Homo-oligomer: A and B are copies of this chain.
Amino acid sequence: MALFILIFEIIGTIAFAVSGAITGLKKNMDIFGVCILGLTTAVGGGIIRDLILGITPPAAFRNPTNALLAIAVSIIIFIPAVRHGIFANNRIYELLMLISDSAGLGIFTVCGARVAIDAGFSSNIFLTVFVAVLTGVGGGVIRDLFAGDRPYIFVKHIYACAALAGAILCILLWNAVGSGISMVSGFALIIIIRLLAARFNWNLPHAKEFSQQ
């Protein structure tokens, strides 16, 4: 189980580092800026989660593995961008952004639920769900604020809705089927909702009359 969670977290870290790094490339940052954006996207959500739960110093500070991994991924992303400019192709960029951001969102949401439950808050479902969603969306919000964009969560296809649905599913299943299956289920639901939303252009209602007048 520990191995499963380790691999899960590694994949999530790589995914969010990719989404941060290609956002930095899109904004024409230099290699250090790209690394910092990759790093903050990958570890930001977990740091917020640990501060909220009173776990200090946050795990990202105590154990450098994920931070160093995020920096390495950012450098690896940087090289083909410089050599071949492949992310300048908007379709490749959009697709990679959708996949990496969705994977990071899904994994960090359910990992956030696990940390909150392990810290002894399983009896407070609201807190667990709230912390899980915050862990999932936190890295992306920091990424977008640093990049000068309006956070993804306010503009994209059913973004926080997906995290919320996945967190609730994960926590409801927890006692019945165990942590492993419930984490994978929550993760899968988040990925499915986001991909379907992107594919079929699902959007929640806007108050369009507001802006048109």
> Which A residues contact B (CB, under 8 angstroms)?
24-34, 36-37, 47, 51-54, 56-58, 61-62, 64, 67, 78, 81-85, 87-89, 121, 124, 126-127, 130-131, 141, 145-148, 150-151, 153-155, 158-161, 203-213
Contact of A155 among B33, B58, B81, B204 (CB under 8 A): B33
Alpha-carbon gap, A79 to B52, bound state (A):
33
Asked whether A209 lies within 8 Å of B56 as measured between CB atoms, the reply is no
Can you name 15 A-B pairs with beta carbons within 8 Å?
A24-B154, A27-B154, A28-B208, A30-B204, A32-B160, A33-B153, A33-B155, A37-B154, A61-B130, A64-B126, A82-B205, A82-B206, A84-B209, A87-B207, A147-B150
Instruction: Give the nearest-CB partner of A145 in chain B.
Output: B145
- With contacts A36-B153, A154-B33 taken as known, whether A28 is within 8 angstroms of B61 at the C-beta atoms is no
